[in-house]
Amino acid sequence: MSIAAEQPKALRKRRSKRAAAVGSPTSRIVQPMPAPGETALVGLGDWATYKALDQALTKSGHRVRYFNGVFEIMTISFRHESLSGNIGRLVEAFCQFIGMDYQIWGSTTQKEEGSAAGEPDESYTFGLEPKDKPELVIEVGLSSGGIDKLEFWSALGAKEVWIWQNDRLHGFARSADDAFHPMTVSVLLPGLSLALVQEFAVIQPSSRAVREFRARLQTTTP
């Protein structure tokens, strides 16, 4: 996954009008602020600068992510929240259908002090045993560029990562070699096809998506 992407001239021009005057002696702004739902690589700096940016921008509706000296700032759009929310509700519906216990972590900030910090779009742990970090992380990427999501969540200890990108849901599971590998059926949720989740994630409203997903499970699950 690329850290930076070529931008059309018109998009660059629109973004330049929203450029942020955020910085410190140890940071360097390299791109303007993103439009709603977009991700942009916006700066380079240290951990202290990340904390200052996070405190300053989170209250204004921005999410700040930091990984090894690279910043990513994103504003949240309805489409972004709708997709991530739908995927999360489908995970919960599947767990309820098969009788699996789960804990919702949502967008709880995850940190590795000094090197990585940020919020997933949705996240979960499974089973009755308490966990100290999410096992499943769900990400919705509506634009290219920014921090590599797999490297980021690998550093923060996720076992499985689902990424919605280019109108498809891509799944990756951590294997014995401690690396993420592509998958089409969830390891944490045995029997759940990502293609099935992808099909119902785009249905609106969310209540209909969950209702029709449950009906499909009734007819296809032994």
pLDDT 10s digit of each residue in the chain, 222 long?
A: 433 333 344 434 444 443 333 344 344 434 444 455 555 556 888 999 899 988 888 777 788 999 999 988 887 788 889 999 999 999 999 999 999 999 999 999 999 999 999 999 999 999 999 999 999 999 998 666 678 899 999 999 999 999 998 899 999 999 988 899 999 999 999 999 999 999 999 999 999 999 999 999 999 866
Looking at the fold, whether 147 and 169 belong to one and the same domain comes out as yes
Domain count within the chain: 2
Handedness of CA 122, 128, 130, 132 (dihedral sign): negative
Q: How far apart are CA 96 and CA 187, in angstroms?
A: 17
Is 4 part of any domain? no
Looking at the fold, whether 66 and 116 belong to one and the same domain comes out as no
Final residue belonging to a domain, choices 75, 107, 122: 75
Is 3 part of any domain? no
Final residue belonging to a domain, choices 75, 90, 118: 75
Looking at the fold, whether 68 and 83 belong to one and the same domain comes out as no
CATH number for the domain that contains residue 106: 3.90.1570
Looking at the fold, whether 186 and 147 belong to one and the same domain comes out as yes
Which domain does 214 fall in, by range? 78-220
Looking at the fold, whether 172 and 204 belong to one and the same domain comes out as yes
Residues 139, 115: contact at Cβ < 8 Å? no
Final residue belonging to a domain, choices 44, 75, 106: 75
Is 104 part of any domain? yes
66: left (phi over 0), alpha (psi -120 to 50) or beta: beta
Tell if the pTM clears 0.85, that is, is over it. Answer: no
Is 106 part of any domain? yes
Looking at the fold, whether 41 and 143 belong to one and the same domain comes out as no
